């Protein structure tokens, strides 16, 4: 099978399309023919080992896992003998904490995938697991409640577009922060107010929030602290040493908390998101599509940090319904 392989940390040119052996599912795994996957910030950060502490997970000298890709949608080609939930031909979507989705085939445990939403294409479904799961699990970590005032920084990005929709589902009052060109998009997702960061600094407006979700990790807790309510919570998608120290400190002193968490690929959360999608309460925003052999270009584009929604990589064919 064909896969995008990298064997050393570096620029997008470190990624190579290669022919490798097709995987064989274990007893509790399914073999999935990948129709669509994505490039996320996690992918290019692991490719660069940036920040450096990522090397503790991915390998100190060279990457231990040579195929990136954390979310996908496709069709089950075969199942292990102990698999009970799926059969050959099932259309599924899901994620892999171990990477491996930038390939024509991948083996995952049956707990890592669920049946694809019936009203989504494979490309649309592939965009859900990482971005929407991150948004959902972070907002839950922030104990989001009906009536909360929630600000989402990076509201037009791969995590932010889902965060806006989920915060509205939880009946929060949502303020999205984005650039001028993305205001209409964020409004269309349900944001009650949109702040253009090129014209206004939300930390200087005097408005305070119950939750500030920095979905693009562009503002520190210290910078946002004055914009939090007395028991406000700051959430950031990128862990760093200063943030970890602030988490430790604020967990013991003061009422305003800084929180970082690692999103997890949980089937029950994927099912929850699938039900929201099929009920018409959430949708995917796709910015650009690339083929598998164009993945270096997809990395370059994603790394610029200006994507509107998700960057899709089509693996088998151009589009599937």
In a domain, 275, yes or no: no
Q: Which residues contact 193 (CB under 8 A, 6 or more apart)?
A: 174, 175, 176
How many domains is the chain built from? 2
- Rounded-to-integer distance, Cα 206 and Cα 224, Å: 11
Please, which residues have CB within 8 angstroms of residue 125's CB and are 6 or more apart in sequence? 36, 73, 93, 116, 117, 284
Query: What's the pLDDT band for 62 if we cut at 50, 70, 90?
Result: confident
* 123 shares a domain with 144: no
Confidence of residue 55 (pLDDT cuts 50, 70, 90): low
Whether the pLDDT of residue 5 is over 70: the answer is yes
Cis omega (within 30 of 0) on the bond before 51?
A: yes
pLDDT at residue 247, as a whole number: 64
* pLDDT of 319: 41
Q: Assess whether 30 and 105 both reside in one domain.
A: yes
Instruction: Considering only CA atoms, give the Rg of the chain.
Output: 19
- What average pLDDT does the chain have? 91
Domain interval for residue 191: 131-259
Residue 57 lies in a domain: yes
pTM of the predicted protein model:
0.92
> Do 118 and 17 fall within a single domain?
yes
Q: What is the pLDDT of residue 321?
A: 39
> What is the rounded distance in angstroms from the CA atom of residue 187 to the CA atom of residue 47?
33
For residue 56, tell me if it sits in a domain.
Answer: yes
In tens, the pLDDT along 9-24 reads 999 999 999 999 999 9
pLDDT surpasses 50 at 272: yes
Q: Which residue has the tokens 């509790």?
A: 28
Kindly state whether residue 114 falls inside one of the protein's structural domains: yes
- Is 154 within the bounds of a domain? yes
Same domain, 11 and 123: yes
Q: What is the pLDDT of residues 241-261, one digit of tens each?
A: 565 676 666 766 778 888 877
- Tally of CB atoms within 10 A around 170: 16
Residues 307, 194 share a domain: no
Give the C-alpha separation, 189 to 162, whole Å: 9
Q: Are 206 and 184 in contact (CB under 8 A)?
A: no
Q: Which pLDDT tens digit goes with each residue over 126-155?
A: 999 999 999 999 999 999 999 999 999 999
Helix ranges (DSSP H) in 221-305: 221-224, 241-250, 267-278, 295-303
Residue matched to tokens 């988490």: 247
The predicted structure's pLDDT at residue 320: 35
Residue 58 within any structural domain of the chain: yes
Does the residue 80 lie in any domain? Answer: yes
Under 8 Å between Cβ of 186 and 164: yes
- Considering the domain architecture, whether residues 147 and 255 belong to the same structural domain is answered as yes
Neighbouring CB atoms inside 10 A of 112's CB total 23
The continuous run of DSSP H or E covering 141 comes out as helix 128-141
In the chain, DSSP assigns E strands to 2-5, 16-19, 29-39, 71-79, 91-95, 105-109, 113-115, 149-153, 173-178, 193-196, 209-214, 228-236, 257-259, 286-291, 310-314
**Neighbouring C-beta atoms of residue 241, cutoff 10 Å:** 9
The mean per-residue pLDDT over the stretch 109-121 comes to: 96
26 and 104 in a single domain? The answer is yes
Q: Model confidence over 219-233: pLDDT tens digits?
A: 788 888 899 999 999
Alpha carbon distance 15, 285 (integer Å):
26
Burial of 125 (0-12, 13-18, 19+ CB in 10 A): buried
Confidence of residue 318 (pLDDT cuts 50, 70, 90): very low
Q: In angstroms, rounded to a whole number, what is the distance separating the alpha carbons of residues 11 and 99?
A: 18
Is pLDDT of 198 > 80?
Answer: yes
């Amino acid at each position: 099978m064909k896969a995008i392989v990298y064997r050393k940390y570096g620029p997008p040119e470190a990624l190579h399309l290669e022919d490798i052996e097709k995987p064989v599912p274990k007893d509790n795994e399914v073999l999935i023919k990948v129709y669509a996957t994505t490039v996320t910030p996690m992918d290019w950060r692991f490719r660069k080992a940036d920040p450096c502490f990522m090397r503790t997970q991915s390998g100190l000298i060279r990457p231990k896992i040579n195929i990136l890709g954390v979310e996908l949608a496709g069709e089950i080609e075969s199942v292990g003998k102990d698999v009970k939930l799926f059969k050959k031909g099932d259309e599924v979507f899901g994620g892999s904490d171990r990477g491996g989705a930038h390939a024509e085939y991948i083996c995952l445990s049956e707990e890592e995938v669920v049946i694809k939403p019936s009203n989504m294409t494979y490309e649309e479904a592939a965009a859900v697991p990482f971005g929407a799961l991150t948004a959902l699990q972070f907002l839950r970590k922030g104990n989001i409640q009906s009536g909360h005032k929630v600000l989402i920084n990076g509201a037009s990005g791969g995590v932010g577009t889902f965060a806006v929709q989920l915060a509205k589902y939880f009946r929060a009052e949502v303020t999205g922060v984005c650039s001028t060109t993305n205001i209409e998009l964020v409004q269309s997702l349900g944001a009650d107010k949109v702040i253009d960061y090129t014209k206004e600094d939300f930390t200087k407006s005097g408005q305070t929030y119950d939750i500030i979700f920095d979905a693009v990790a562009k503002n520190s807790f210290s910078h946002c602290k004055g914009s939090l309510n007395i028991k406000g919570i700051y959430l950031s998608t990128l862990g760093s040493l200063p943030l970890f120290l602030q988490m430790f400190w604020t967990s013991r002193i003061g009422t305003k908390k800084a929180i970082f968490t690692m999103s997890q690929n949980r089937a029950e959360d994927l099912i929850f998101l699938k039900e929201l999608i099929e009920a018409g309460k959430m949708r995917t925003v796709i910015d650009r599509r690339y083929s598998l052999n164009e993945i270096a270009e997809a990395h370059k584009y994603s790394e610029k940090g200006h994507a509107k929604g998700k960057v899709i990589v089509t693996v088998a064919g151009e589009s599937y319904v």
